[in-house]
Amino acid sequence: MKRNLLFSFLGIGAGLLASCQSDPKADKAQTGAAVKIEASSGHQYQADLNQSRVEWTGSKPIGKHHGSFNLQTGSLSLQDGNITGGLFVMDMNSLNVLDEDTNGIFKLSGHLMSNDFFDVAAYPTARFEISSVTPGVTASSDELVMKDATHTVTGNLTLKGVTKSISFPARISVEHNQVMAQANFNIDRTNWGLVYGNDKSLGDKFIRPTVNIGLQLVAQVNG
């Protein structure tokens, strides 16, 4: 029997908003030291790489940029209706700028892939490994942007060789053979050593440290 899984973490960002705007409105991920990852149990779901990707949005005083990364590999474990683990590896060389204004996209892509930002020559992949998915959220509903969040997802995010744990609210439902999840949250890129442009004295060239981050995944398993 084929089981289908739709797993969405929506919203990633590393680009730039209009001068009258603030950081992307989203729940803030809690960031800390890397956590221990225990072996997961249950059925393994493999990502459908044609339908899975990471998206990002980021800002500076005079504009914004939006784009995506493709997944290189991805898997998720599910037992008794609960997510017990997962690992998603991003192909950093697949960086794609999706701005409506296409002027300068090639130059921007090259800059983001350089050692000023992701240094993809030295770090061709990034990864997120789930340590736990627990029912409920720690914040009150008044504090949440995603008011109908049902779970808290925690795991290790590795960017440019730096690993930090992140924890964020998500909306997850498990029905029959399908799992659906959504999340929308911000991180501070400087926690991963991505500090280029993070100086307000740069004026219009200042790049905000806040990055809106997410993952969209479709995965399935036979058995």
State the amino acid at position 178 in one-letter form.
Q
In the chain, what are the domains? 2-222 (2.40.128.110)
Distance separating alpha carbons of residues 144 and 142, to the nearest angstrom: 6
State the DSSP H helix or E strand holding residue 96, giving kind and residue range, or none if neither: strand 82-97
Distance separating alpha carbons of residues 15 and 142, to the nearest angstrom: 28
Per-residue pLDDT tens digits for 22-64: 667 889 999 999 999 999 999 887 788 887 888 888 887 778 8
pLDDT score, position 9: 39
Among 49-58, 117-126, 145-154, 174-183, the minimum mean pLDDT is found in 174-183
* CB-based burial, 6-32: b 16+ in 10 Å, e otherwise: bbbbbbbbbbbbeeeeebbebbbbbee
Instruction: Please compute the mean of the pLDDT values over residues 132-154 and round it to a whole number.
Output: 87
pLDDT, mean over the chain:
83
pLDDT score, position 187: 94
pTM: 0.85
Q: At residue 203, what are phi and psi to the nearest 5 degrees?
A: 65, -125
Q: At residue 55, what are phi and psi to the nearest 5 degrees?
A: -120, 150
Per-residue pLDDT tens digits for 92-130: 999 999 888 888 888 999 999 999 999 999 999 999 999
- pLDDT category at 86 given cuts 50, 70, 90 is very high
Res 204 pLDDT > 70 = no
Q: Which residue has the tokens 């993952």?
A: 215
